[in-house]
Amino acid sequence: MFPIERPRRLRQTEGLRALVRETRVAVEQLIYPVFVRPGQGLQEPISSMPGIYQWSVDTLCAHLEEVYALGVHAFLFFGIPSHKDAQGSEAYSPDGIVQRALQAVHERLPDATLIADLCLCEYTDHGHCGLLHGEIVDNDATIDVLARTAVVQARAGATVVAPSDMMDGRVGAIRRALDAAGFEQVPIMSYAAKYASGFYGPFREAAENTPTFGDRRAYQMDPANRQEALKEVLLDLEEGADMVIVKPAMPYLDVLSDVKKAVRVPVAAYQVSGEFAMIKAAGQLGWLEERRVIEESLVSIKRAGADMIITYFAPDMARWAQER
Ligand code: PBG
């Protein structure tokens, strides 16, 4: 008798396939990124991210109430300030746009997990992720400002702060500042392995944070480096990170898998704007089955080792889960 082993036996029916399925994407582990700007009644489309908008605080609250009701309970906040300057001062102003959004959403949805992206690039007039010294981003001056911003975000109601700047030593500085201000219970989810990626393209339109000169290669990681991701992750953990992020997701599944094996903390992957836009564009052209590819992309990220996934598809996934 040949063949003895017949793996197809377990693939015959959806019932069998569901029983032996190794990986599931849980809606409770999806994090939905949102963009908020000053104003009222706004819902500004982002042309390279169909279905994703810049909101004002009022419309954001209404939108997140709907998304929350679908089952997505964690949100990642990005702000577009009314005023940018060299220091990025709206990042840490108590009535800066993200702080106002955090307060308002926290009031409406007290059980939601509100994650504040912590970086200066949306707030600086030059678009870099820190303070400049000439044309160089000054590492140590920047981490002071980040630490200060973290405290302001925590005060405004952030459940978690998520530094995405890639400065050296920022996690330790943020931890010390939070503890000194009485926020020793606020976790840090660090973008530990964040690559200098072309896949952030559409985000530049969404968050209006394109650098006015140069690029981010002097602080974000080289896409060719795999070992170095572990170094970055281990450094952030030594400094006190509670969770780590690998970003982007699908082009870096090897990195994600390495990180998951190396650490004992929860690992998140960020399916970034360019990953979203590619699937959307091919779906709109009829070149890919959009829903199928979305589900496959997220299951792949999960299979590679992500506990949580930051994804613009979170509301879609929640809606489909409800339909089932
Ligand atoms: C920077 C930041 C970026 C993203 C999240 N935080 C852009 C960048 O580093 O240039 C990109 C997210 C995405 O593309 O979806 N604070």
- The dihedral built from the CA positions of residue 195, 30, 34 and 177, taken in this order, carries a sign that is negative
> Does any ligand 1 atom lie closer than 6 A to the CB of residue 55?
no
Closest ligand 1 atom to the C-alpha of 165? 16
Give 324's pLDDT tier (boundaries 50, 70, 90). Answer: confident
Closest C-alpha to 226, from 201, 262, 199, 175:
262
In the residue annotation, 194 being an active-site residue is answered as yes
The rounded distance, in Å, linking the Cα atoms of 152 and 26 is: 31
| Interface predicted TM-score (ipTM) of this complex, two decimals | 0.96
Q: What pLDDT is stored for residue 2 in this prediction?
A: 87
**CB of 272 closer than 6 angstroms to any ligand 1 atom:** yes
pLDDT tens, position by position, 100-118? 999 999 999 999 999 999 9
Sequence-ordered list of residues with C-beta below 8 angstroms from that of 26, at least 6 positions apart, any chain: none
CB neighbourhood size of 294 (10 A):
22
Q: Per residue in 198-247, pLDDT tens? A: 999 999 999 999 999 999 999 999 999 999 999 999 999 999 999 999 99
Q: How far apart are CA 132 and CA 285, in angstroms?
A: 42
Structure tokens at 185: 């219970």
Domains delineated in the chain? 24-323 (3.20.20.70)
Give the global pTM. Answer: 0.97
Q: What is the mean pLDDT of the chain?
A: 97
Q: Are 249 and 269 in contact (CB under 8 A)?
A: yes
Residues 6+ apart with CB under 8 A from 300: 250, 253
Report the phi/psi class of residue 246: left, alpha or beta, with left for phi > 0 and alpha for psi in -120 to 50.
beta
* 8 Å CB contact between 247 and 272: yes
Q: Which atom of ligand 1 is nearest to the CA of 220?
A: 9
